[in-house]
Each structure stands twice: as structure tokens, then as C-alpha cells.
Amino acid sequence: MNFWGDEQFSFFESILFQTLGRTVDVIETQFLSGGDINMAAQVFSSEGVFFVKWNHADSQTTLGAFNPFETEARGLNLLRRTDTLAIPEIMGCGQHQGKSYLILEFISSGKPNQLYWEMLGQSLAEMHSHTQPRFGLHFDNFIGSLPQTNTLTSSGFDFFFDQRLLPQAGMALYKGLLTKPYYEALFRLREQLPNLLPNERPALLHGDLWSGNVMVTEQGTPALIDPAVYYGFREAELAFSKLFGGFDQRFYDAYNEAFPLDRGFDERVGIYNLYPLLVHVNLFGSGYVSGVERILKRYL
Ligand code: ADP
């Protein structure tokens, strides 16, 4: 986004005023890279250091009355309330000068301490023990920049198919990235889901748990950012974590000790990961199609 110098300072000062309700002097800003979608900065001010991310308001898809930052803030709050893993405090979100913004507590990065992976595994297991009667959530949100519907559903298999696989597969078919035979194979997989996946209770999930969304705090402990929260099958979260290289084995061991998984999880990983893979097909294109096809081949 092209604004800098005085204009940039006055933007940050205005949104901090909107958020905190008092005049704030911005002292310095540091732009941050690493996000896929938004602009981000560390903002040093007379009221402390903040993390700010922003985007053109008119470039954002909205769901009902909500934009991605509002649903992100609501998701972060849900995770924070479990008091399990560290989650940045939400200072506020809003709109100013045609831009949407989200202001969070700034997390200073450090190096993982000796028990980092064990802590991540145990605390995630604890977070997953938070449940509600149905799968989904009381609001829709986003996965990356794509809408993610969370219609409350009694069956986890129906939820996984209707709210996760089908919308993404439909989009991939529409974009000409997924062929009809593979799209149809999904429906044969649907019939098999109750035989393939354990029918567990809805678990509170981060929803986008890959290494880029886990930060190491100054104390060397884990903190989670950028969620796509919903109540779903907890194995879907662990499978997601394995998609791009995975986490240290100590994480999986600690998780399994705290909240044991059914046997044979490794064979189920591909089925759960059809969802993030289809999301990647829709966001980033054909490079991810072969990953989807490999998993669906046996249902052709
Ligand atoms: P996007 O929504 O564009 O994916 P992210 O939420 O992933 O953006 O943030 C971009 C980068 O900013 C992250 O990779 C991380 O390094 C850093 N970051 C995110 N949240 C915070 C925070 N609360 N404190 C400090 N740095 C953060």
C-alpha cells in the first residue's frame, strides 16, 4: 500500500486514537513481512508497542456485516478465553480512510525454550478439549482470503463434507482446476467417511495451524496468530500441521500423551488435508492439484 512518511504516521495515530480513545503519538514504525494477504507493521507509540495489519477495505470480501479482521478478532478472542495457548490481546479493529485494520498486542520473538514443543502439544490438546454440542461456529469466517462457512451441524462427517470439502471443490471445479471425475470421486469418499474417520466430539480448533501461524515469544514459549476458528474434528488440526513439513515429533508425542488419538491417524492425514489442499488450489492455482488428485485417486 502506497503511503509513507507523515501520512503513514497520521494513519496509525488516527486508528490508535479510534481504538484507545485518547491521543497517541507514533514514534516509529517497522514494516513486517510474512503475511500472505495484508500489510503489517510494528508500531512504537507513546502508549506502547502494537502490531497493526491493514488492507484496502474495498478489496476485502465481507461475510454479512463482517470483514476478515472482525472475524479474526472474534476467533482470537474465542481462543484466548480458553486460557490455554498464548494469543495476542485484541486492541481493536475498524475502518479509516478506506482501509480496514486490526490492532493487536505485539509479540516480541525469541528462540524456542527446551520445553517449547511439549508445551505446544499439551496446550493444544487442552484447547481441543473445549467442546460445544454441534460442529461449526455461531459466525462464518475466512480461511486465508476465502470465505469459510461454519453452519452449525450435528454430524461431523456432514460438516466436513458440506462446509469444508464441497465449497472448495466446487470453486476448484468452477475455476477449471479440478476435473469432473475427481469432483465426483469426492462424493464416493463422502459415503466412506464414517468408516474412515473417528466420530469424535466437536473440538475448538485454531483452523489454520501451520508453522507460519505459531510464533515463539521472548520467553521461548508458543503463541498462536491468524486463526480460522471453528469446532471440528481435532484430527483435522493435527493433519493440517503436517501439511508443510510438520512440527517437531515432540509436539505430536506430547499431544498424544495429553489427549490420545485413535490408532491409525497417519493413514487419515490425507483425507483431512484435502481441505487445506483444495484451499491452496483455489488461492494459489494448479500447483496443488496433484496433491488433491493423489488422495482422491482411490475413489475415482
Ligand atoms: P496475514 O493476515 O497477511 O497472513 P499475519 O497475521 O500472518 O498476516 O501476520 C504477518 C506476520 O506478522 C506474521 O508472519 C508474523 O511474523 C507477524 N505477526 C503477526 N501477528 C503478530 C503479533 N501479534 N505480534 C508480532 N508479530 C506478529
- CA separation for the pair 195, 271 (Å, rounded): 12
Looking at ligand 1, which residue's alpha carbon is closest to its atom 7? Answer: 35
Asked whether residue 144 falls in the same domain as residue 190, the answer is: yes
Q: How many domains does the chain have?
A: 2
Q: What is the pLDDT of residue 73?
A: 97
Asked whether residue 179 falls in the same domain as residue 284, the answer is: yes
25, 208, 248, 262: the active-site residue: 208
Concerning whether 36 is annotated as a catalytic residue, the answer is: no
pTM: 0.95
Q: Of all atoms in ligand 1, which is nearest to the CA of residue 144?
A: 4
Q: What is the pLDDT of residue 161?
A: 98
Q: Which of residues 86, 105, 124 is at a domain's end?
A: 105
Give residue 114's Cα distance to chain centre. Answer: 26
CA of 92 to the centre of ligand 1 (A): 15
Assign residue 73 the CATH number of its domain. 3.30.200.20
Question: What is this model's ipTM?
Answer: 0.97
Q: Is residue 111 part of a domain?
A: no
Q: What is the pLDDT of residue 4?
A: 63
Asked whether residue 35 falls in the same domain as residue 184, the answer is: no
Asked whether residue 221 falls in the same domain as residue 134, the answer is: yes
Show Cβ contacts of residue 107 under 8 Å, excluding neighbours closer than 6 positions. 51, 86, 88, 215, 217, 223, 225
**Residue span of the structural domain in which 252 resides:** 116-299
Asked whether residue 50 falls in the same domain as residue 159, the answer is: no
Asked whether residue 142 falls in the same domain as residue 181, the answer is: yes
Q: Which three cell numbers stand for residue 190?
A: 463422502
User: Looking at residue 227, what DSSP letter applies?
Assistant: -
CA of 40 to the centre of ligand 1 (A): 7
Asked whether residue 196 falls in the same domain as residue 275, the answer is: yes
- CA separation for the pair 237, 82 (Å, rounded): 17
Return the best residue to mutate from 31, 51, 55, 284 for the ligand 1 pocket (most ligand atoms within 8 A of CB).
51
> CB of 283 closer than 6 A to ligand 1?
no
Q: Is residue 1 part of a domain?
A: no
Q: Which residue has the cell 472475524?
A: 71
Looking at ligand 1, which residue's alpha carbon is closest to its atom 23? Answer: 106
Q: Is residue 88 part of a domain?
A: yes
Task: Give the E-state strand segments of the chain in sequence order.
Answer: 26-32, 39-45, 48-56, 90-96, 99-105, 141-143, 146-148, 203-205, 214-216, 222-224, 230-232
Asked whether residue 47 falls in the same domain as residue 124, the answer is: no
**Terminal CA-CA length for the chain:** 45
Q: Which residues of the chain have pLDDT under 50?
A: 1-2
Q: Which of residues 105, 132, 153 is at a domain's end?
A: 105
Residue 278: closest CA among 164, 192, 137: 164
Show Cβ contacts of residue 191 under 8 Å, excluding neighbours closer than 6 positions. none
Angle between helices 265-284 and 180-196 (to 10 degrees): 150
CA of 137 to the centre of ligand 1 (A): 24
Assign residue 145 the CATH number of its domain. 3.90.1200.10
> CB of 88 closer than 6 A to ligand 1?
yes
- CA separation for the pair 96, 99 (Å, rounded): 5
Q: What is the pLDDT of residue 3?
A: 60
> CB of 171 closer than 6 A to ligand 1?
no
